[in-house]
Amino acid sequence: MSFIEQLFNLSEQWQCVNGLLWIIFAFGIIKFTTLILRTCALITDLFLLPAVDYSKYGAGKGKYCVVTGASDGIGKEFANQMAARGFNLVLISRTLSKLEALKEEFEKKYGIKVEILAIDISSDSQDNYEFIKGLCKDLPITVLINNVGQSHSIPVPFLETEEEELRNIITINNTATLLITQIIAPIISKTVKETKKSRGLILTMGSFGGLIPTPLLATYSGSKAFLQQWSTSLAGELQKDNIDVELVLSYLVTSSMSKIRRTSMMIPNPSKFVKATLSNVGRRCGAQERYGTMTPFWSHAIYEFIIEETFGVFSKIVNTINYSFHKSIRVRALKKAARLAKKQ
């Protein structure tokens, strides 16, 4: 091969390398630009936009909001803040005495109407759904908040999970949520069609346990991941009916289910969490890459955003960290149970 031919071949190789470098550079620019845009959207959603106006959902116009798991914690706070916005309420939970107390409190404080229904959703009884249908069928409902949920009593290996606990988690988090939505969504659709310039809203409580695969909470994690796919699919189906569907992702919140009492920057109380949720409906906040999904509390949103943009929620390193975190919780819980057993 002559010297000129060698130079020609080198020139061709350089052109190929140079073209590849330009492609890599252009791809990098695109990735960097989208990162900047997502970051700007995150900041705008969390800190710059005004709170959502609920008049479009019928606030103060005699419309009803249904809240499941309404007697404690996040569910109780959803009921309280929706009542403050002027919605009548349908409260569904297990303990009648707590529901009666809330009915009296909200009717007196906000001058609204409150319907209550005490049922054990974990029983998965057909009668439960008939009771809900009978109570709600003639009410002008525009909002459903699927708040009821259950986790494991303590972190536990899947192979050691008791069948009753496993079944209760799936029944409450999945089966009941789907069947209640099948009952209420058509009522919302009918109400929206009969009311000019009105929209409907379905909020379902998700979890970081469903966002990130969570060892030692495998059944709960799977049940919440199911809700992500179901809720996002439902959002696509119901948009034509002017019904907004959102999955609400949360990290830890002080509640009886989380067994955490002390608040911190990362762990708000139910009041602050619900305020952030209702203020940001329709905005993705931390869930920038997920349609029909929101991570409304600011520290949770930033935490999710960082995980998504670095290691990724399905990465081995995140899975390992999650396992270590819940293993330490399990060890402490077992030690506490042993101490209490000795005292008895």
Catalytic sites, residue numbers: 220
Q: Are 82 and 108 a contacting pair, CB within 8 Å?
A: no
Longest dimension (CA), the chain: 98
Instruction: Give residues with Cβ within 8 angstroms of 155, minimum separation 6.
Output: 216, 217, 326, 327, 329, 330, 333
The DSSP bridge partners found for residue 201 are 143, 244
d(CA 79, CA 65): 8
Is 233 marked as binding a ligand? no
> Tell me, what DSSP letter sits at residue 58?
T
Residue 194 in tokens: 């009969």
Cβ atoms within 10 Å, residue 299 = 17
Q: Are 234 and 245 a contacting pair, CB within 8 Å?
A: yes
Enumerate the known binding-site residues for substrate.
207
